[in-house]
Structure 1
Amino acid sequence: MSDRTVTHASFVIERDYAAPPSRVFAAFADPAQKRRWFAEGEGWSIERFDVDFRIGGSEHSSFRYQGGPPISNDTTYQNIVPDRRIVSAYTMTIAGEPISASLATVELIPVGSGTRLVYTEQAAFLDGKDEVSTREAGSRELLESLAQELERTAVAG
């Protein structure tokens, strides 16, 4: 058996959206919207996406990228303040092997008619199977997908 290691790291991403906090919050709270920007995408196949968006509720997803090994994300919502804050704890696995455990905080701050989203993640990366630079890059991609979802729903609304 190889040595077991833990690397602790954190990062913060700030992103402005041309949508009010209520619309940004809805993109997290509404399962259909969240699935579109968080789980779907070119090259991804979704095997499971279940959301119970409430304090103490959970979100479970399982997906593959271009036919690769299964990746799972299991989240528990710790704190939710509508239109202002979401705090969740989540773990990720690849092919059933744990790669990380994280605490993630989303803050929604009104800025004019839009929103400044501040995303903070504090993570324990396990056994060298993931790292902070990869996770931060993936989080930035997700926040870009959120921007596209907000633009799409603004046109549809």
Structure 2
Amino acid sequence: MSGKDIDTTLEDGSVIHNTFTIERTYPQSPARVFAAFSNKDMVRRWRVEGEGWDIDEFTYDFRIGGGEVSRFRYQGGPEIRLDAQFQDIVPDRRIVFAYRMKIGSEPLSASLTTVEFFSSGGGTLLRHTEQGAFFDNVDSAKGREEGTRQLLDALAAELQRA
């Protein structure tokens, strides 16, 4: 079958594949920025909590083979669930994790994410790369990238607070 024979219109059961990379520079050291990913209380503050969000569950086991389960709702809406597993951790340098998300009983996505930490001018260059499969909704890929940008802003606020 040639590429022109493939129907790429979105229908039920469709998958959108998307990869994006976001780089941010923080004035804190790589060790300090890495700590914001390894410390359960810090992770909960910058990644899970927020105005309008209700947290139903948050478990976090930061080790290779460990993972995260987060269940939350925005303004009383349907439950959003994240299930993650850490694939690789190199302190102060790299975190690789796979995760899946769903809203209610509907699967939303499955992703592989790499977060890298580089020394940069007395601070840290953070590179976040996500490779995702997004199910049944073309806008969810764009929304994930925007949501990740917002989370990296929340990380900056957490680093300033700590």
Which TM-score band (shorter chain)? over 0.9
Partner AA of 1:51 in structure 2 = Y
Partner of 1:136: 145
Paired residues for 1:72-111 under 5 Å: 72-111=81-120
CA distance in 2, matches of 1:131, 1:46: 22
Residue identity matched to 1:4: G
CA distance in 2 between partners of 1:131 and 1:3 (Å) = 14
| Deviations, residues 43-86 of structure 1 (Å, cap 9, x unaligned) | 11111110000001010000000110000000000000000000
Decide whether the 8 Å contact of 2:16 with 2:138 is kept in 1.
no
Select the structure of larger CA radius of gyration: 2
Q: Which runs of 5+ in 1 are unaligned?
A: none
Seq. identity, %: 57
Count of aligned pairs between the two proteins: 152
From 128, 142, 147, the counterpart of 2:156: 147
The alpha-carbon deviation at position 119 of structure 1 amounts to 0.3
SS at match of 1:24: helix
RMSD over aligned CA atoms reads: 1.1
Runs of 4+ off more than 3 Å: none
Q: Where in structure 2 are there 5+ consecutive unaligned residues?
A: 1-10
TM (norm. structure 1) is 0.94
Does the C-alpha gap of structure 1 residues 6 and 97 become closer, same or farther in structure 2, counting only changes over 3 Å? same
Q: Tell me the TM-score normalised to structure 2 length.
A: 0.91
Comparing 78-87 and 126-135, the one that deviates more: 126-135
Which string of whole-angstrom CA distances, capped at 9 and with x for unpartnered residues, describes residues 3-27 of structure 1? 3111101100000001000011110
Does the 8 A contact of 1:50 with 1:59 survive in 2?
Answer: yes
Contact 2:100 2:109 in 1 (8 A): yes
Report whether the alignment pairs 1:46 with 2:55.
Answer: yes
